[in-house]
Amino acid sequence: MDSMLPFLVFVGLVGLIIAWHVFEHKRSVQLIQQWAASNGYQILELEQRWLRRGPFFWRSSKYHTVFYVDVIDAQGATQAVWIRCGGWFSGLFSDQLTVRFDS
């Protein structure tokens, strides 16, 4: 049993890391969907950006997630939007979104 303890701790840590990433993604998508619905947009495509963070490259912390989103408005016009989810210190425990329309 003592030889299994390090393995079980490792598996537990990997499980926690995976669970955290799933939480981050689901929470971010939920916030973006709420933003789109309240502003009259329909989401066409949603892509999380890890390295290419657009206007948020130098303005985001490790507590943020950044998405590149294609939306369509009520008139049928499509627009590309960069969205940063989360607060500077509270991360995704806050409902904060920063939206920049791609020109």
Residue ranges per structural domain of the chain: 5-101
Say which DSSP state 73 is in: -
Model confidence pLDDT, tens digit, residues 48-88: 888 888 888 887 777 788 999 999 998 989 999 999 998 87
pLDDT at 3 over 90: no
Its pTM stands at 0.83
Model confidence pLDDT, tens digit, residues 40-55: 999 999 998 888 888 8
